[in-house]
Chains A and B, each alone.
Chain A
Amino acid sequence: MATIVVDVMLKPEILDPQGKAVASALPRLGFTFATDVRQGKRFEITVDGEPTAAQLAEVEKAAEKLLSNPVIENFTVRVEK
């Protein structure tokens, strides 16, 4: 059993109001380290055995078609050990 992780983030040029809200909440709690925060989504997909190249290609397709909206989002696919 392995886990394929798909991370989806808004493209850098798309305003992220949720990230901004988090960024402005941090200093109110005394956390002053952040100059910016962006918020995204993470999908953990479980498959049997080691993922094959074909499976990963399918996940790429699914990420483009359903998990992300390519108009406003980028995604990355990786296998978690």
Chain B
Amino acid sequence: MKIGVVTFPGTLDDRDAARAVRYAGAEAIELWHDDADLKGVDAVILPGGFSYGDYLRCGAISRFSPVMEPLIAAAKGGMPLLGICNGFQVLAEAHLIPGALTRNQHLHFLCTDQKIRIENNNTAWTSSFSAGQEIVIPLKNGEGSYQCDDETLKMLEGEGRIIARYVGENPNGSRNLIAGISNERGNIVGLMPHPEHAVDALTGPGTDGLGFFTSVLKAMVK
């Protein structure tokens, strides 16, 4: 099983994402933003960071990188694709998932260990969890407030596409405490908090994040 991790100029969390992939038992393949080549991978992660310095809008310039063309086509065909933090912003800019990520309501950059609840465990990236399971993984962002119109929110709620919600106080002003959403098919997931930083008790708050990466292995075996 090969899982690609894309590096854009300004990506920070590609190494941790690749490590999480290896911890889950898969092979991590480095993908470069400027190569329109997915190198035969079975799934792809768009990791966190500040691609292109967050210029224009977070993810707006990365979204047009050469690697995105084959990636968008593959994801639309059903290939599992996970966007974490800045990766979530890239997914939103590419309109692979609805809505947008905007400046945290309180304007501060956040860096905290955040409790989230897995709301939907039927996606390619959440099947290792039980529905309603609460986990703790790091949350670190400046523009993590999920916004969409009322109609979209109703659709996401109705179709069970809110895959994870923040537990407790709303950390960034996201509508309906949204921490992550999926596309209709459940192969594309955008997630604001960082599971790749919670795969080893030595360097994170625990190992709760590992489930996202083991989930996709199960999805690929199917």
Contacts and interface: CB of A to CB of B under 8 A. Distances in A.
Given A69-B93, A69-B100, A72-B102, A14 B147 contact: yes
A68 B195 CA distance: 30
Contacts of B105: 15, 17
Given A71-B99, A71-B100, A17 B106 contact: yes
Nearest to A68: B57
Nearest to A14: B147
Contacts, number: 37
Interface string B12-28: 00000000000000000
Contacts of B107: 17-18, 21
Interface string A4-25: 0000001001110110010000
A66 B60 contact: yes
A59 interface: no
Interface residues of B, number: 21
Contact of B64 (A13, A14, A21, A66): A66
Range class of the A interface residue count: 10 to 19
B57 A17 contact: no
Interface string B139-166: 0000001011100000000000000000
B103 A18 contact: yes
A66 B60 CA distance: 7
Contacts of A15: 102, 105, 145, 147, 173
Q: Residue among B64, B92, B100 with the most chain A CB within 10 A?
A: B100
A41 to B, nearest CB: 8
Contacts of A18: 103, 107
B113 to A, nearest CB: 23
A69 B57 contact: yes
Contacts of B147: 14-15, 72
A67 interface: yes
A38 to B, nearest CB: 13
Contacts of A69: 57, 60, 93, 100
Contacts of A66: 56, 60, 64
For the complex of A and B, the 8 pairs showing the least CB-CB separation, nearest first, are A72-B100, A71-B100, A17-B103, A17-B107, A17-B105, A21-B107, A69-B100, A69-B57
